[in-house]
Amino acid sequence: MKFQALIALSVLTLGLTNAHAEETSMATPASAHEFTFTSIDGKDMSLGDFAGKAVLVVNTASECGYTPQYDGLQTLWENRKDDGLIVLGVPSNDFGGQEPGSEEDIKSFCEVRFGVNFPMTEKAVVKGKDAHPFYQWAASTYGEAAEPRWNFHKILVGPDGTVVGAYASGVTPADKKLGADIDAAIASGR
């Protein structure tokens, strides 16, 4: 009788463990394509719409020493969008309060000062426990390198929705390594 009870308990424990494993695996998105931002114009912006393309996600700020990188990001977008690259700006006020304006202020600043016309989201939290779910997922799947430490941190998402690279703020849009990684990501989607 004790043996049968032990077997029954083992089977029950195994079943609960498998159920927990399935629940845990369902809770973690498999790809960036499962996330949605809100555009700077207030519309849903699903990263799933960019499936099959490389996406460079950049947390931006209007009053930062790295703000001139908008020029390089716009050039990168203009030169590579037809190849399959999306540049996605994610304004954030997380570092030094350097993005204090409204979405309207940010959009106007970017368009007038830098001619930006690549997709941008509304302001989002990009660090810590309150970070947008995309940023939490990127850090959990790619590691610390995907956690922004300052404005203009870059995360490169491949056409399949996996993080394929992360780059510190000082890495400019014209950086050769970044360019090579973008080339490889675009090629992997063809």
Q: List, as one string, the DSSP characters of 122-170.
A: PP---SSTTS-HHHHHHHHHH-GGGS-SSTT-EEEE-TTS-EEEEE-TT
**Rounded Cα distance, 156 and 82, in Å:** 17
Are 185 and 159 contacting, i.e. CB atoms less than 8 angstroms apart?
Answer: yes
| Average pLDDT value for residue range 25-32 | 75
Domain boundaries, the chain: 1-30, 32-188
What is the tens place of the pLDDT at every residue in 141-174? 999 999 999 999 999 999 999 999 999 999 999 9
Fold of 32-188: Glutaredoxin (3.40.30)
Which residue is associated with the tokens 């099959």?
52
Angle between helices 176-188 and 69-80 (to 10 degrees): 30
pLDDT band at 22 (very low <50, low <70, confident <90, very high): very low
64 belongs to the catalytic site: yes
User: Nearest 5°: phi and psi at 45?
Assistant: -130, 100
pLDDT band at 175 (very low <50, low <70, confident <90, very high): very high
- Over pLDDT 90: what percentage of the chain? 83
Residue 21 pLDDT greater than 50, yes or no: no
Output the pLDDT for position 95: 98
Q: How far is CA 27 from the centre of its chain?
A: 18
The more confident residue out of 52 and 190 is: 52
pTM over 0.75: yes
Q: How far is CA 4 from the centre of its chain?
A: 51
The H or E element that residue 106 is part of is helix 103-114
* Catalytic residue (choose from 36, 63, 64, 188): 64
Query: Range with the lowest mean pLDDT among 26-35, 129-138, 163-172?
Result: 26-35
* Nearest by Cα to 126 from 102, 155, 104: 155
Three-class SS of residue 114? helix
pLDDT band at 27 (very low <50, low <70, confident <90, very high): low
